[in-house]
Amino acid sequence: MTKKSPPLVGIPACVIELNESLFHRVAEKYITGVVEETGCLPLLIPALGDHLDFDDLVDRLDGLLLTGSPSNVEPHQYDGQPSHEGTKHDPQRDEVTLPLIRAAIERGVPLFAICRGTQELNVALGGTLHQNVHELEGKNDHRMNRELPREERYDDRHPIKISPGGILHRLTDGADEVMVNSLQAQAIDRPAAGVFVEAVSDDGVIEAISVLNAPAFTLGVQWHPEPAIVRELPLSKAIYRAFGKAVRDRQISRSSDRSPRAA
């Protein structure tokens, strides 16, 4: 019996400079999260922009994971004001993720977005971002506390209020609130048309979104569920489980489409 290949989950890479050379990189925690929590095979997508045929690429994928990053979406992508001096950007990643998101949603590819990925999801569909949430009146500082030991940086920081009727509401068996970590400077400002706000923080920052009428599982979360210690939490388990099921369903559907028809 031929062994069935695992579903393919595409993960777009960031571009970083190291020792005067450019590298296309995905942090290991995202890769192992896909492998260990869904049983799928990660496929790292280089930030090659116009060299990629996005429609063809998503047709080869069973799922898409969008990661966090030290960089931010360039503000011209959503008609935002210029960033503060020293803000990290990755235009090569933007050139891949934004059209890839639109192609994936259109073709029914399950999509799970984390942190920067959630901001990309909103921008790709026409929404805008707050570039520095901590500078807004009445908002908390959601940035990573770098004074903490690394193993404590992903501890729960604040509650989020879950919207009734959404994906998170279903995955938490109807919970009103859960605790999450917080490691970002940016967040969603105006949600794109067709975006459903799944959860907000205690200071009103949008913490999770989905896409109304998306043909497949599409969820973005602002916090980080991918570190090994956080993946042990019930909410993280539930999200990865739902994403994995959607990805496997997509693989079955693709396999059926490729199967020879009976005469």
224 classed as catalytic = yes
The answer to whether 217 and 246 have CB atoms below 8 angstroms apart is: yes
Beta bridge partners of 25: 14
226 classed as catalytic = yes
User: Does residue 72 sit in helix, strand or coil?
Assistant: strand
Beta bridge partners of 18: 21
- HSE-CB at 3 with a 13 A cutoff on CA atoms is 2
The answer to whether 154 and 230 have CB atoms below 8 angstroms apart is: yes
Catalytic position from the list 37, 95, 207, 226: 226
Structure tokens that stand for 186 in this block: 């940016």
76 classed as catalytic = no
Beta strands (DSSP E) in the chain are 8-12, 14-18, 21-25, 41-45, 63-66, 111-114, 129-130, 158-162, 177-180, 187-188, 195-201, 206-211, 218-221
Distances from the Cα of 26 to the Cα of 9, 35, 43, 63, 238, angstroms? 13, 14, 10, 16, 23
User: Does residue 89 sit in helix, strand or coil?
Assistant: strand
Catalytic position from the list 40, 95, 115, 207: 115
Give the integer Cα–Cα distance in Å for 138 and 238. 32
Strands 111-114 and 21-25: unpaired
Active site residues: 115, 224, 226
